[in-house]
Amino acid sequence: MHRRLLLKGIVALGAMAAWPRLLLAARPDAAFIADNAEDAIKDVFGQAPVHSDQIKLKIPDIAENGAVVPVTVSTDLADVESISIIVANNPTPFVASFDMSPRVLPSVSVRIKMGESSQVMALVKAGGTLYSTSRDVKVTIGGCGG
């Protein structure tokens, strides 16, 4: 089913040069079971990220609910190929990856689970290079407000 959709994509695209990468990409299964961020990044990208100020990671400083943490990653970097999200302290840190064609603006929102307070990292692959930025997100017991 998935494959058929992808093939349909090829037909529609014709000769656009940027496309084969997206179409050939497969779910990085090993990254999703890796128990540390470094292995997951190596598995998916084969390179270590460099820090970029051009990535905006919008996420609450303190989560209202660790099971539902809204996150938006956007970037001014050119030629964005993918956006990925990593929660360092989750049992399996690699949370999600979005492979995008040039037709999609490099900005995506999703909601993620966090088991505990952690550094959250946004990865952007653009023009063949991997970039990242990160923020600390606190997951706390509630109450005592006032």
Partner 1 sequence: MGKPIKIRAKIKGDVAEIKALMPHDMESGLRMNPDTDQPYPAHYITDVVVELNGEVVMTAYWGQAVSKNPYVSFSIKGAVIGDTVKLHWNDNEGDSSETEMVLKPKKKRIGT
Partner 2 sequence: MNRRDFVWMLGCASSAGLLSGCIRGELRDDPYESAAFGNARLLHFTDCHAQLTPIYFREPNVNIGIGGAAGRPPHLVGQRLLDYIGVTGGSRDAYALTYLDFAAAAERFGKVGGFAHLKTLIDRQRAEVGDGNSLLLDGGDTWQGSATSLWTRGTDMVDACNMLGVDIMTGHWEFTYRDDEVMQNIERFDGEFIAQNVRVTEDALFDGAAAYDEDSGHVFKPYSIREIGGHRIAVIGQAFPYTPIANPQRFIPDWSFGIRDDDMQELVDSIRATEKPDAVIVLSHNGMDVDVKMAGRVSGVDAILGGHTHDGVPRPIVVENSAGKTLVTNAGSNGKFLAVLDLDIGKGKVNGYRYRLLPVFANLIPADAEMQSYIDGIRKPYLDKLEEPLAVAGTLLYRRGNFNGTFDQVICDALMDVGDAEISLSPGFRWGTSVLPGDTITMERVMDQTAMTYPETYSREMSGAEIKTILESVADNLFHTDPYYQQGGDMVRLGGLNFSCDPTANINFRISDLILDDGRMLEAGKNYKVAGWATVASESPGPPVWDVVAEYLKDKKTITVDKMNSPKLRNVADNAGLADYANTLE
Quick note: the x/- pattern for partner 2 over 108-127, rule CB under 8 A, is ---x-----x----------
- Given the rule CB under 8 A, which of 7-15, 26-34, 57-65, 96-104 is the region that contacts partner 2? 57-65
Q: Could you give the angle at the alpha carbon of 66 between the alpha carbons of 60 and 68, nearest 5°?
A: 80
Kindly identify the residues of this chain, within the stretch 24-83, that bind partner 1 according to CB under 8 A.
25, 27-28, 32, 67-70
All residues at 6 or more sequence positions from 73 whose CB lies less than 8 Å from its CB, including other chains: 55, 56, 57, 58, 83, 85, 107, 108, 122, 124
Residue keyed to tokens 């600390």: 136
**Residue of 58, 67, 105, 127 interacting with partner 2 (CB under 8 A):** 58
Residues within the interface to partner 2 (CB under 8 A): 56, 58, 60-65, 70, 111, 117, 136, 138, 140-146
